[in-house]
Amino acid sequence: MTDLRQQLQGLWLPLVTPFRDGRLDERSLRQLTRHYATEEARSVDGFILGATSGEGMTLKPAELERLVAIVREELAAHRRSIPIVLGLSGADTARLKESLDETADWPIDGYLIASPYYLRPSQRGLLAHFEALADHAAWPIVLYNIPYRTGVNLTNQTLLRLAEHPNIVGLKDCSASREQSVALLRDKPDHFRVLTGEDAHTHEALSDGADGAILLSAHIETATFAAIQTELKRGNADAASARWQDVAELTRLLFAEPSPAPAKYWLWRCGLIDSPEVRLPMVEIGSELATSLDREIARRMKVAA
């Protein structure tokens, strides 16, 4: 395990969960992990497992545990110490505390926990919720603010209060408000890391000073997404912009239908997973988007050749 507060920066991959005939596809999962642990070794700084992109809400507890075990096994086999953060979600604080207990001895480095959905608690309720979880958790917590999915926004005032907790180390920021994000980056303590989770706005978030990014789109052109931040850190704004222009359209295509179905189709077509299968209520992509993705895959393969 690693020191998550120090590792929470750079490019993190919210790994998709491969399925085949309704089951966790362990062969594809191992292949996928090996790919990002070896071929993309210098690009990926951490994995998120079982969160939105990993269809975590459709995974049974035993499947989630197996998912973590396989990824850790593959990383160990290739002598990679990439940190693993486990996605958890729910609207019941007590049940989430039980989930923290159930996963306390898993080989992970922390948790990514979204705001409680549907109930739309007050800011005082959100503060009490996350403080209770942070007090209880065996591993550090990364907050996940995504109000367009949960129905409630973690305000900067609340986030700054939570940043004071010793077991809350950072934020996946999907607030969809650049104004809020910039203000948080300005006011946050140095030890609290903010990573953008908005694929289509990656360049602007990193330019504004985000510590990194958690990007589904980085399953494809992984090194390019990593290079955007590297060039910005070096002061090469033009080079970063050029890198971004190479993948900006990709972020649109991969979210043209509900994620992660488009990314799974792409990975399947490229041979990294054995099926583009998703679990209901998600469905596989339609024929029109499939044609667009096939065209973009062919174009990129031709450029790479």
Structure tokens that stand for 122 in this block = 């007050």
In one-letter notation, the amino acid at residue 95 is R
In this structure, the number of other CB atoms found within 10 A of the CB of residue 298 comes to: 11
Establish whether 228 is an annotated binding residue.
Answer: no
Q: What angle, 0 to 180 degrees and rounded to 10, lies between the N-to-C axes of helices 61-77 and 26-34?
A: 40
Distance of alpha carbon 265 from alpha carbon 288, whole angstroms: 13
Distance of alpha carbon 77 from alpha carbon 107, whole angstroms: 14
Distance of alpha carbon 292 from alpha carbon 297, whole angstroms: 9
Q: Is 118 known to be catalytic? A: no
> Catalytic: which of 60, 97, 117, 144?
144
Residue 75 · residue 34 · CB < 8 Å: no
Distance of alpha carbon 87 from alpha carbon 173, whole angstroms: 14
Q: Estimate to the nearest angstrom the gap between the alpha carbon of 288 and the chain centroid.
A: 27
> Catalytic: which of 36, 111, 148, 172?
172
Residue ranges in the chain assigned as alpha helix (H) = 4-7, 26-34, 61-77, 93-102, 123-136, 147-150, 156-162, 178-187, 202-208, 222-233, 237-253, 261-269, 287-304
Distance of alpha carbon 178 from alpha carbon 284, whole angstroms: 31
- Count Cβ neighbours within 10 Å for each residue of 68-103 and write b for 16 or more, e otherwise: bebbbebbeeeeeebbbbbbbbbbebeebbebbeeb
Establish whether 53 is an annotated binding residue.
Answer: yes
Structure-token match 């739309």, residue found: 120
Distance of alpha carbon 107 from alpha carbon 83, whole angstroms: 10
Q: Is 188 known to be catalytic? A: no
Output the known binding site for pyruvate.
53, 214
Q: Which residues are catalytic?
A: 144, 172
